[in-house]
Amino acid sequence: MKILIIILGVIAVLLVLAGVGLYLLGRAQPERHSATITFTLPRARPAVWVALTDYASLPQWWPAVRAVRFETRASGEVITWNKDAHGKEIGFRTREEKAPAKLVREIVGDDLPFGGTWTYELAEDGPGTRVTLTEDGFIKPPFFRGVARLFMKPDGTMRDFEKHFAVHVAAQ
């Protein structure tokens, strides 16, 4: 029994040290970050634009989004609420739209530990479309910044989007 208590104590101390280490690593990271990827799709810009702005179809082609619901606010602003694989909903609004060239989508919610924008810039590239996707974001809690630094790629979610979006657009 004494050995079990010692082992549990050592495990608890190691967990606390790991948590403190992640916190300190996160404090050393900037709160704001930016990442950009560029990829080319084999469809004309208007077709890519239609696919990009068809928010209701997201769950059909991107596994990261399980469901989408729409909320129209009193101001007329439309918020799309994306439900992720964990059942959490995150709201998005369109901050800027210049069809078919530029779209800026922003996470809604000041109470979230993270946020920011994704800016899509579409340019003609021969018969296809070159998409430049930029994430300008922030992660507030230092612990989360530490976790992100160790376990996530800065462009990981964008690369996942690219992979699934490319398949979706090619199938159109």
pLDDT tens, residue by residue, 69-87: 999 999 999 999 999 989 9
Residue 111, pLDDT > 90, answer no
First to last CA, the chain: 64
> Mean pLDDT of all residues in the chain?
92
Q: Residue 153 has what pLDDT?
A: 85
pLDDT score at 33? 92
pTM value is 0.87
Judged against a pLDDT cut of 90, whether residue 16 lies above it is answered with no
Distance between CA atoms of 166 and 37, rounded to whole angstroms? 13
Tally of domains within the chain: 1
Give the range of the structural domain holding residue 6, as residue numbers without chain letter: 2-170
Query: Which CATH number is 93's domain given?
Result: 3.30.530.20
The burial class, CB within 10 Å (0-12 / 13-18 / 19+), for 110 is exposed
Q: Average pLDDT for residues 9-33, to the nearest whole number?
A: 80
